Amino acid sequence: MKNNSDINSILIKAITCIALCFPIKLFAQWNIINSGTMNDLHSVYFTSPQTGYIAGENVILKTTDGGDNWAIDSISFDLYSIHFPSVNVGYAGGKSPISASTGTIIKTTDGGQTWFVLDSMNLIILRDVYFLNDDTGFACGGLAVGYIYKTTDGGISWIQNSPDNPTYVSILSVRFPSYNKGYAVGTSNIGGPSPINMLKTIDDGDSWNLVYNSTTGNAVYATGSVFFIDSITGYAGKNSGILKTTDGGDNWYLYNYLYGIYDMGLPYSIYFPNKDTGYYVGLNNYFNPVIYKTIDAGNSWYKTYFNDTIFSNDTIQTMQELMIYSIFCIDGNNCFAVGDSGIILKTTNGGESTSVVDNVENTNEIVIYPNPGNDKLIINIESEKNTNISLTIFDLQGREIFTDKINKYSNQYQLNISKFNKGIYIIQIKIGKEIINKKIVIK
């Protein structure tokens, strides 16, 4: 007889299979794409708007039509990371089937048509691979001690260059804002990422040292993921927030405003398609999978997806167990995220919602335009109810900054926003007992 845990696992797999066979619209315009597999997916990377790759549990997926369809290549490795330094040359790293503690790296030189195993018997289980060019790259990971490896010959040979520090259980992410300078973050807890000292190299990865803020002298702790937009602006994960640097990593500062609530949880993957727009996937403080977004260069963040609304009827609460591990954006609007049980999420509008309605039985339609705006907003309200209507605006710190009554016999309201500061706001419209929330951007 199967126990409850087995039954729940089967239920999750079965329901996810249904979802993966039929595209289902999610909260905030994220759609489930049919991956064709139930295996966990850990990393996604695109070499062009049409061509992308996903690495996962014994599979590599490839699309050539912008992510609508994926071809599956079955392999014998559990892969955690995939990266292409050029169109045809790519690397994927993970765990060898020989031993749970042994790492492996596979390589393609023909755009994923064929993959071959590199000699990596001396590597520990790998969590991330990142290449500066076709030949020079880095791999990191670890099981009881964290390691960083470097190759300069296309993965034929690897040298361990990480510091000998037993507090590093695993190095999870490594990135280079410039050829000489690189950063790495990891974890000191096998059960779940706990921040450790960020590592830094200024000599092409030959040596790594702890990072300290040059202004305060304090050690910088980070985990999960690190990402650089250019040589001076970068982001790194940390419990309950995102670290940001604007001086090439000399100083890092924590940003964690989410509608004024410190609920950003634990980032797994960070991606910025441009200097203002960024995303990260991970867990919130309630350990539910989330996708957060910023449109003001990381100063404030808001949710674009949360797993408990993955189905429209919102009856399968066990879907909260599906984790999202990696995100990649072709541009500010077109993004992909991947996770447990073969789940692929896709958005073509930056994950933005046309409306967020608290009452699913709503009979009212709210349209706000232009959004973003800088002078005035037009709010069209189509309501079947002859009742009082009120409007309230909140900033991201949760402070009420404007309120007004709307004539119940009027279906249009003009809002002067010329004196508002630039940024993101929430408009809350109450129509009788019904509450409708919408996000607006003032530029």
Q: Residue 93's pLDDT is what?
A: 95
Q: How confident is the model at residue 290 (pLDDT cuts 50, 70, 90)?
A: confident
Rounded CA gap, 127 and 140, in Å? Answer: 6
- What DSSP letter does each residue of 133-148 carry, written as one string? SSS-EEEEEESSSEEE
Question: Residues spanned by CATH 2.130.10.10 within the chain?
Answer: 4-347
DSSP 72: E
Q: Report the alpha-carbon angle 229-190-234, nearest 5.
A: 10
Q: How confident is the model at residue 16 (pLDDT cuts 50, 70, 90)?
A: very low
Q: Residue 433's pLDDT is what?
A: 74
Return the top range by mean pLDDT from 185-199, 258-272, 303-317, 323-337: 323-337
User: 172 with 147: CB under 8 angstroms?
Assistant: no
Stretch among 51-60, 106-115, 282-291 having the lowest mean pLDDT: 282-291
**In the predicted structure, residue 9 carries a pLDDT above the cut 80:** no
Q: Residue 6's pLDDT is what?
A: 46
Q: How confident is the model at residue 123 (pLDDT cuts 50, 70, 90)?
A: confident
Q: Residue 119's pLDDT is what?
A: 73
Check residues 50 and 292 and name the one with the higher pLDDT: 50
Q: Residue 148's pLDDT is what?
A: 92
pLDDT digits (tens, 9 = 90+) for 207-249: 988 888 777 778 888 888 999 999 999 999 887 778 999 999 9
**In the predicted structure, residue 351 carries a pLDDT above the cut 60:** yes
pLDDT digits (tens, 9 = 90+) for 305-337: 644 433 333 333 334 557 899 999 999 999 999
Q: Residue 25's pLDDT is what?
A: 38
Check residues 288 and 58 and name the one with the higher pLDDT: 58
**In the predicted structure, residue 186 carries a pLDDT above the cut 70:** yes
Mean pLDDT, to the nearest integer, of 146-164? 87
Q: Residue 427's pLDDT is what?
A: 87
pLDDT digits (tens, 9 = 90+) for 381-397: 876 667 788 899 987 65
Per-residue tokens: 281: 């996937």
Q: How confident is the model at residue 175 (pLDDT cuts 50, 70, 90)?
A: very high
Give the contacts of 206 (CB within 8 A, at least 6 positions apart). Answer: 150, 161
User: 139 with 117: CB under 8 angstroms?
Assistant: no
Check residues 211 and 85 and name the one with the higher pLDDT: 85
Q: Residue 139's pLDDT is what?
A: 94
Which H helix or E strand runs over 189? Answer: none
Q: Residue 134's pLDDT is what?
A: 98
Q: Residue 431's pLDDT is what?
A: 84
Rounded CA gap, 353 and 137, in Å? Answer: 39
Question: Residues spanned by CATH 2.60.40.3080 within the chain?
Answer: 357-442
What percentage of the chain carries pLDDT values higher than 70? 78
User: 236 with 242: CB under 8 angstroms?
Assistant: yes
Rounded CA gap, 284 and 40, in Å? Answer: 20
Per-residue tokens: 372: 């973003």
Q: If we measure between CA atoms, which residue out of 438, 292, 305, 415 comes closest to residue 362?
A: 438
Q: How confident is the model at residue 5 (pLDDT cuts 50, 70, 90)?
A: very low
Question: What is the CATH code for 4-347?
Answer: 2.130.10.10
Question: What is the CATH code for 357-442?
Answer: 2.60.40.3080
